[in-house]
Amino acid sequence: MIALAAVLGVPLAAAFLLSFIAGYRLSARINGLASFVSFAGSLLFLVHRPAPGALFLVDDLNIVFIVLNCFVGFTTSLFSAGYIGHELESGKLTPASLRFYYAMYQLMLFCMSLALIAANIGLMWVAVELATLSTVMMVGIYRTHEAIEAAWKYFILGSVGIALALFGTILVYLAAHPVIGEGAQGMLWTALLAHAWKFDPALLDTAFVFLLLGYGTKIGLVPMHAWLPDAHAEGPTPISAVLSGLLLNVALYALLRFKILLAACPGAIAPGPLMIALGLASTLLAALMLYRRRDIKRLFAYSSIEQMGIIVFSFGVAGPLGNLAGLLQMTMHSLTKSAIFFSVGHVAQVKGTQRMAEMGGLTESHPLLGWTLVAGVIAIAGLPPFGLFTSEFLVVSSSFSRAPLLTAILVLGLLLSFGALLLRLGKIAFGPVRGETAPVRASSAPIFAHLALVLTAGLWLPPPLVAWFRHAASLLG
């Protein structure tokens, strides 16, 4: 109960509180503190889980997501303290919008935690929708032409996606209706899963199509991805980190829940082929898009699409190793990509631009930022000694013997995307110094914390963690 209060109640209360506080330092502290409390609360779930209820459910699958969510939320709040301070100084944000920012930040965390923890598919939908709304607000916070365009695009595409997801949710309820009967039971995970084998498989298939496209929009799967790069590029960098590190995961989580449902219903189509197809399309297209990017944040946003493609592919291939790999890849991607965005945020602040043409030789002018960026890109490319190597190893090696051709395509995508990222990295991190060289007050702790975790995971995965992931993977079928 305490944990629930910490994870859900604290952010909500903080959001309310922060909307009245104008002082930058104070609100930054409250923001960090609230995020920390919810992170600590989420850790409590590890030792004690509340009993599944009508509203909330904590099980082996979502606990991974919840802890990750709260952790990245916490580190991002630390990062955003310094980042937003700089934005205030440089006049890009006004104190009024600052109040709005912090309140929205906590609200966003609340919505995402709620979506993860909800036991009811309707409640989850509502939470995802609210999360979308709050992030839309954040994306448009700079009020520049580009920011508003990005927010608007995000909003429209997100709304359509959300609407489709709702239609899918209604269809799931309809499928459950003859078996479970009327009432709230028909939307409860536990009840749905228990009776899934009796559902009408054809109806579940149809529902899954809508859910896949609906939540897939929020995951950023091609061809519904268009909002994602612009939203990442035009919003404040902490929000980019949260979008890539958390929001995509939340949508993915929702999709996975429904996948479990389908897996439990023997007559339903295997969701694998659809997920594989969308995953491959995302990986390949995003990899190609990387080549022509000029904006650094947009670059890494496309990289998120690519990674999401890999993850969805992996869950689509499934099998105990495939699911495990997917979970691991998702966790590692969250940590790595947010670390990259932290670095990128500072870089963009110091250079006064997000255009990569105006950055160069970072390892020389800003060794800390430069090398962490190098490490981040190395990690995101799935190279050792980082954790994404482990997960990509599992993804590729486990799926190749099952679907050789498809895996070959995936590998092609990996190679293409790495080629593009490395091409940029070579110019940004190395080469002659370009752009501003003023020193930066970087909040390096979050970057290092994330990279250290990813590094540790590459070298050594704690057996309990893996056992837990394996159990979660076995739930996924």
Partner 1 sequence: MILVLLAGTAVLLALALAGAVVKGQGRSLYAIASFVAFLSAILALVSLPARPETLVLPLGLPWLGWHFRLDPLSAFFLLVVDLGAASSSLFAIGYGRHEAEPGRVLPFFPLFLAALQLVVLAADAFSFLFSWELMSLASWALVLVQHRDRESIRAGYVYLVMALLSGLALLLCFGLLAGASGSYAFSAMRLAHPAPGLAVLALLLALIGTGAKAGLVPLHAWLPLAHPAAPSQVSALMSGVMTKVAVYAFLRIAFTLLPIPPAWAGLLVTALGGITAVLGVLYALMQHDLKRLLAYHTVENIGIIFIGIGLAMVFRAAGGEEAAAALALTAALFHVLNHSLFKSLLFFGAGAVDRATGTRDMERGGGLIHRMPQTAFFFLIGCAAISALPPLNGFVSEWLTFQAILLGPGLPAWGPKIIIPVAGALLALAASLAAACFVKAFGITFLGRPRSREAAEAAETDRFSLSAMGILAVLCFLAGIFPAAVINAFAPVSRALLGAAMPGQSHLPWGTIIPVAAARSSYDGSAIFLLILAVTVLAVAGARRLAAHAVRRAPAWDCGFPDPRPVTQYTATSFAEPIRRVFGPIIFGAASIVRMPPPGATAPAEIETALHDRLWEIFYDPVAAAVARLADAANHLQFLTIRRYLFFVFAALVMLLFALALQR
Partner 2 sequence: MGLGFDIAHMLAGLMVLASLLLLYQDRLTALINVLRLHGLILALAVAWQAHIQSAPELFVSAAIALLVKALVIPGALDRIVERLGIHRSVETVGGIGLTMFAGMALVALSLRVMLPVTAGADPVSRQDIALALSVVLIGLLVMVTRRNALGQVAGFLSLENGIDLAAAGARGMPLVVELSVAFSVLIAFIVIGIFLFRIRERFDTVDLAALEAFRGERR
- Positions touching partner 2 (CB under 8 A) are 120, 122-123, 125-126, 129-130, 133, 136, 140, 145-146, 148-152, 155-156, 159-160, 162-164, 166-167, 170-171, 173-174, 177-178, 181-184, 186-187, 200, 202-203, 205-206, 229-230, 233-234, 293-295, 298
Query: Which amino acid, 204?
Result: L
Binds 126, which of partner 2, partner 1, none (CB < 5 to 8 A, cut-off by type)? partner 2
Nearest to 397 by CA among 384, 414, 411, 415: 411
Q: Cβ of residue 187: shortest distance to partner 2, in angstroms?
A: 6
Identify which of residues 106 and 417 has a Cβ nearer to partner 1 in the complex: 417
Nearest to 14 by CA among 4, 3, 6: 6
Binds 384, which of partner 2, partner 1, none (CB < 5 to 8 A, cut-off by type)? partner 1
Q: Cβ of residue 408: shortest distance to partner 1, in angstroms?
A: 7
Distances (CA, A) of 108 to 113, 208, 242, 314: 9, 26, 9, 28
355, 427 Cβ separation under 8 angstroms: no
Identify which of residues 250 and 321 has a Cβ nearer to partner 1 in the complex: 321
Q: Cβ of residue 33: shortest distance to partner 1, in angstroms?
A: 34
Q: Cβ of residue 171: shortest distance to partner 2, in angstroms?
A: 7
127, 111 Cβ separation under 8 angstroms: yes
Q: Cβ of residue 459: shortest distance to partner 1, in angstroms?
A: 6
**Cα distance between residue 323 and residue 311, in whole Å:** 9
Return the C-alpha torsion angle 429, 430, 434, 436, nearest 10. Answer: 40
Binds 381, which of partner 1, partner 2, none (CB < 5 to 8 A, cut-off by type)? partner 1
Nearest to 249 by CA among 162, 160, 332: 332
Maximum CA extent, the chain: 69
Identify which of residues 162 and 310 has a Cβ nearer to partner 2 in the complex: 162
Binds 427, which of partner 1, partner 2, none (CB < 5 to 8 A, cut-off by type)? partner 1
Binds 177, which of partner 1, partner 2, none (CB < 5 to 8 A, cut-off by type)? partner 2
Terminal CA-to-CA distance of the chain, rounded, Å? 30
Instruction: Give the burial string for 385-421 (b: 16+ CB within 10 Å, else e).
Output: ebbbbbbbebbbebbbeebeebbebbeebbebbbebb
Q: Cβ of residue 456: shortest distance to partner 1, in angstroms?
A: 11
Binds 145, which of partner 2, partner 1, none (CB < 5 to 8 A, cut-off by type)? partner 2
Identify which of residues 107 and 251 has a Cβ nearer to partner 1 in the complex: 251
